[in-house]
């Protein structure tokens, strides 16, 4: 921080950016305004204020902080780098068979649809562990596939051939895998009765306010209550009652239209589809070629049956996953679950698209251990966030009265409902995480090149605003809020920015980042986010690894840990070439950290983890301390 003080953004500079200084305003008034903001936040350390104030910790605390590791530098090596004293084991890779009758991964063919259905899926993302009956179950999202990696036969990034397309489909979904620490290493337990692949073909229930609505009915399901499968499951959540939440994100990229398109306004693509990015062409998956339901010209309601949070009981391999329409339909990143002081269940969620919104769900019922839980994610109120530039904010309920839409429709066309109430457009809300040590919630706003440039897909204005203060935001930031009175169901909150990512070696203005960013810890595009049991917040990146221009010196994607109190951020891990680091959880004894390494070599320049000429494979790694100590 010291080396770059002149190049980083001070609190006052940030405050000025958020509340532009009137012409006649003098320096003293700016300082006064900054100080009153701190007072207003009631003790929350407004971002950058630690450095700006010269610090309020003892010198010993400031020197050691709460970090158990020494920061590492950036890296462009095709490997996972961690601090000295830590080690990395690859635990499971895309294509590893989960049953002994499954085929081992074949480097030449990269598998078949049949082998993939019996193997760990691709592109590991959100995950969590569930201790059950003396065993440990790991539930992992397999978000998507990179067509040129999964198939040696892909043409221009498009899967061709029925089996290759089906293989790609079977690499999606969720994997439930028993894991165990055997012979000094964490390993998959093949043939465990709990092992399960949930795929785009798995039967699911549609539940909650939208279930049974006409917009969810199809030829195959005239009830609008039964659907097949889940895909593009990004981040996750875990409920207090031990179920897993898989969040459907870019569900739109799998639909296409067989309409003979001759102009820019195809009849099969409705305005409602456009708001969610459903278009005449898919993103290269070719699913409509093997399954007609992905053809919106024939089945226009199918896209309405995706874009939800899916609740899965990992302890019952025969259970039917439930799509929870009460939590809204959008490009769900993850679902951060909190039990409020009064027992109501609160779920915070982001919609990852440029200029979309942050949501909160509050159950009507209360959680009580042992009592029925089925209604808790089906019966509640959905809210959307409005951030004011003065550091306060409000949750606006999405109801027929506020939106002019009927109850079911709010939960199908949730983006439109949120636009109707004037929600604050955000810089791509990614993961949300609630601090277990304090009533505060953090959300990564990963980047937004359209900020201040053009409206979102619903036409909402995206001029810079309080929590999204930079035009053409290519670095991202983390916003945090504190519910009024520590009550997660309260109508209001206060907010500040925990960090503005940036590059102080390239810029000397707001794009240098906040004062807790410096040449030694800089990063771009915060995405994954999780708190450990000590209250440190872990930040995973999915950004540019160009390592030049605006991103010079930032290396490969990385994982850092932040202290919520001091604002200090230290780099803990750097991933292999062209990967994203996403997904984080810990063993129950907190001696192992499980981390997801997604899509190494997405542009053809990695052979991790096998090395040599091997096909790059997404994988979950187990990170431990060499002295066997705690890792979070």
Backbone φ, ψ for residue 28 (5° rounding): -60, -40
Residue whose beta carbon is closest to Ca ion: 542
Nearest residue (CB) to Ca ion, 233 versus 373: 233
Q: Which of residues 471-530 bind ligand FEO (CB under 6 A)?
A: 527
Site string for ligand FEO, 551-580 (x = CB under 6 A): ------------------------------
Cα 578 to Cα 74, 140, 616, distances in angstroms: 14, 21, 10
Nearest residue (CB) to ligand FEO, 110 versus 354: 354
> Which DSSP symbol is given to 254?
G
Nearest residue (CB) to ligand FEO, 18 versus 234: 234
> Which residues neighbour 46 within 8 Å (Cβ) at sequence distance 6 or greater?
11, 34, 37, 38, 391, 496
Give me the count of residues in the chain.
632
Q: Which of residues 352, 427, 484, 602 is near ligand FEO by CB under 6 A? A: 352
Nearest residue (CB) to ligand FEO, 88 versus 169: 169
Nearest residue (CB) to Ca ion, 195 versus 524: 524
> Which residues neighbour 53 within 8 Å (Cβ) at sequence distance 6 or greater?
none
Is 440 one of the binding residues for ligand FEO (CB under 6 A)? no
> What is the DSSP track for 479-502?
EEEEEGGG-TT-SEEEEEEEEE--
- Residue 530 CA, distance from chain mean position: 10
Is 295 one of the binding residues for ligand FEO (CB under 6 A)? no
Helix (H, G, I), strand (E, B) or coil at 84: coil
Partner whose binding site includes residue 313, from Ca ion, ligand FEO, none (CB under 5 to 8 Å by kind): none
* Residue 529: CB minimum distance to ligand FEO, A: 11
Nearest residue (CB) to ligand FEO, 135 versus 449: 449
**61/66 Cα distance (integer angstroms):** 8
* Residue 207: CB minimum distance to ligand FEO, A: 24
* Residue 183: CB minimum distance to ligand FEO, A: 34
Nearest residue (CB) to ligand FEO, 235 versus 609: 235
Q: Which of residues 289, 430, 520, 532 is near ligand FEO by CB under 6 A? A: 430
Selected range binding Ca ion among 41-49, 114-122, 255-263, 526-534, rule: CB under 5 A: 526-534
Nearest residue (CB) to ligand FEO, 178 versus 430: 430
Site string for ligand FEO, 127-166 (x = CB under 6 A): ----------------x-----------------------
**4/314 Cα distance (integer angstroms):** 48
Backbone φ, ψ for residue 67 (5° rounding): -90, 140
> Which DSSP symbol is given to 512?
G
Enter the tokens of residue 277: 């990015």
* Residue 430: CB minimum distance to ligand FEO, A: 5
Site string for Ca ion, 415-444 (x = CB under 5 A): ---------------x--------------
**582/235 Cα distance (integer angstroms):** 8
Residue appearing with tokens 């000094």: 184
Enter the tokens of residue 327: 């939590």
The count of chain residues that interact with Ca ion, using the rule CB under 5 A, is 3
Which run of H or of E encompasses 11?
helix 11-18
Selected range binding Ca ion among 97-105, 499-507, 523-531, 589-597, rule: CB under 5 A: 523-531
Cα 391 to Cα 15, 31, 526, distances in angstroms: 10, 16, 22
> Of the candidates 98, 142, 557, which has an alpha carbon nearest to the alpha carbon of residue 317?
98
* Residue 543: CB minimum distance to ligand FEO, A: 12
Is 234 one of the binding residues for ligand FEO (CB under 6 A)? yes
* Residue 124: CB minimum distance to ligand FEO, A: 11
* Residue 427: CB minimum distance to ligand FEO, A: 12
Is 143 one of the binding residues for Ca ion (CB under 5 A)? no
> What is the DSSP track for 115-167?
HHHTB--SSEEEEEEEEETTEEEEEEEE----HHHH-TT-BTTB--SHHHHHH
Is 542 one of the binding residues for Ca ion (CB under 5 A)? yes
**506/500 Cα distance (integer angstroms):** 15
The count of chain residues that interact with ligand FEO, using the rule CB under 6 A, is 7
Is 333 one of the binding residues for ligand FEO (CB under 6 A)? yes
**518/541 Cα distance (integer angstroms):** 16
> Of the candidates 425, 380, 385, 420, which has an alpha carbon nearest to the alpha carbon of residue 401?
420
Nearest residue (CB) to Ca ion, 567 versus 596: 596
Helix (H, G, I), strand (E, B) or coil at 61: helix
Enter the tokens of residue 193: 């009765």
* Residue 233: CB minimum distance to ligand FEO, A: 9
* Residue 352: CB minimum distance to ligand FEO, A: 3
Is 602 one of the binding residues for ligand FEO (CB under 6 A)? no
> Which residues neighbour 182 within 8 Å (Cβ) at sequence distance 6 or greater?
none
Nearest residue (CB) to ligand FEO, 451 versus 570: 451
Nearest residue (CB) to ligand FEO, 216 versus 478: 478
Q: Across 183-261, where does the E strand assignment appear? A: 185-188, 196-198, 203-207, 226-228, 233-238, 244-248
Selected range binding Ca ion among 132-140, 216-224, 535-543, 553-561, rule: CB under 5 A: 535-543
Is 249 one of the binding residues for ligand FEO (CB under 6 A)? yes
Cα 474 to Cα 9, 284, 368, 466, 599, distances in angstroms: 16, 26, 44, 17, 21
In contact, 250 and 331? CB cutoff 8 Å = yes
Q: Which of residues 164, 496, 527, 578 is near Ca ion by CB under 5 A? A: 527
* Residue 249: CB minimum distance to ligand FEO, A: 5
Q: Which of residues 65-124 bind ligand FEO (CB under 6 A)?
A: none
* Residue 236: CB minimum distance to ligand FEO, A: 11
Is 16 one of the binding residues for Ca ion (CB under 5 A)? no
Q: Binding residues for Ca ion, per CB under 5 A?
A: 430, 527, 542
Q: Binding residues for ligand FEO, per CB under 6 A?
A: 143, 234, 249, 333, 352, 430, 527
């Amino acid at each position: 921080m010291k080396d770059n003080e002149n190049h980083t953004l001070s609190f006052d500079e940030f405050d000025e950016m958020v509340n532009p200084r009137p012409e006649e305003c003098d320096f003293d008034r700016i300082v006064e305004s900054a100080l009153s903001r701190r007072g207003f936040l009631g003790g929350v350390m407004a971002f950058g204020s630690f450095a700006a104030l010269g610090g309020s910790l003892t010198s010993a605390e400031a020197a050691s902080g709460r970090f158990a590791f020494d920061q590492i530098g950036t890296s462009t090596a095709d490997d996972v780098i961690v601090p000295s004293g830590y080690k990395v084991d690859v635990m499971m890779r895309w294509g590893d068979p989960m049953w002994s009758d499954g085929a081992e991964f074949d480097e030449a063919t990269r598998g078949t649809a049949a082998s993939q259905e019996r193997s760990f899926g691709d592109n590991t993302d959100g995950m969590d562990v569930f201790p059950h009956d003396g065993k440990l179950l790991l539930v992992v999202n397999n978000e998507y596939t990179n067509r040129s990696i999964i198939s040696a036969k892909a043409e221009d990034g498009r899967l061709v051939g029925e089996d290759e397309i089906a293989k790609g489909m079977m690499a999606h979904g969720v994997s439930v895998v028993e894991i165990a620490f055997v012979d000094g290493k964490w390993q998959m337990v093949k043939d465990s009765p709990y092992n399960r692949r949930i795929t785009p073909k798995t039967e699911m229930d549609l539940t909650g306010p939208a279930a049974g609505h006409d917009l969810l009915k199809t030829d195959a399901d005239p009830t609008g209550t039964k659907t097949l499968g889940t895909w593009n499951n990004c981040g996750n959540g875990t409920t207090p009652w031990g179920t897993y939440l898989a969040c459907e994100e870019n569900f739109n990229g799998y639909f296409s239209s067989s309409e003979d398109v001759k102009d820019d306004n195809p009849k099969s693509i409705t305005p409602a589809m456009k708001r969610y990015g459903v278009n005449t062409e898919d993103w290269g998956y070719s699913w409509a070629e093997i399954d007609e339901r992905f053809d919106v010209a024939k089945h226009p309601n199918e896209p309405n049956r995706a874009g939800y949070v899916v609740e899965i009981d990992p302890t019952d391999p025969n259970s039917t996953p439930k799509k929870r329409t009460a939590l809204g339909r959008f490009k769900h990143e993850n679902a951060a679950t909190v039990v409020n002081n009064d027992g109501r269940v609160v779920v915070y969620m982001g919609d990852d698209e440029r200029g979309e919104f942050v949501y909160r769900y509050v159950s009507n019922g209360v959680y009580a251990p042992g009592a029925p839980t089925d209604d808790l994610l089906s019966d509640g109120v959905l809210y959307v966030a409005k951030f004011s530039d003065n550091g306060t904010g409000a949750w606006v309920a999405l109801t027929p009265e506020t939106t002019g839409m009927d109850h079911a429709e709010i939960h199908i066309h949730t983006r439109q409902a949120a636009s109707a109430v004037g929600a604050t457009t955000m810089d791509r809300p990614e993961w949300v995480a609630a601090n277990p040590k304090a009533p505060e919630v953090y959300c990564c706003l990963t980047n937004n090149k359209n900020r201040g440039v053009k409206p979102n897909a619903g036409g909402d204005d995206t001029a810079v605003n309080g929590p999204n203060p930079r035009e053409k935001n290519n670095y991202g930031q983390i916003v945090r809020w504190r519910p009024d009175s520590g009550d997660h169901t309260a109508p209001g909150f206060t907010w500040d920015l925990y960090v503005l990512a940036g590059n102080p070696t390239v810029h000397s203005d707001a794009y240098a980042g906040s004062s807790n960013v410096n040449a030694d810890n800089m990063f771009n595009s915060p995405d994954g986010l999780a708190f450990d049991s000590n209250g440190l917040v872990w930040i995973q990146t999915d950004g540019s690894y160009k390592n030049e221009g605006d991103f010079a010196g930032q290396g490969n994607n990385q994982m850092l840990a932040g202290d919520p109190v001091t604002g200090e951020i230290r780099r803990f891990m750097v991933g292999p070439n062209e990967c994203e680091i996403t997904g984080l959880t810990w063993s129950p004894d907190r001696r192992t950290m499980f981390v997801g390494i997604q899509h190494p070599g997405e542009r053809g320049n990695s052979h991790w983890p096998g090395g040599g000429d091997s096909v790059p494979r997404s994988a979950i790694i187990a990170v431990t301390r060499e002295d066997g100590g705690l890792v979070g």
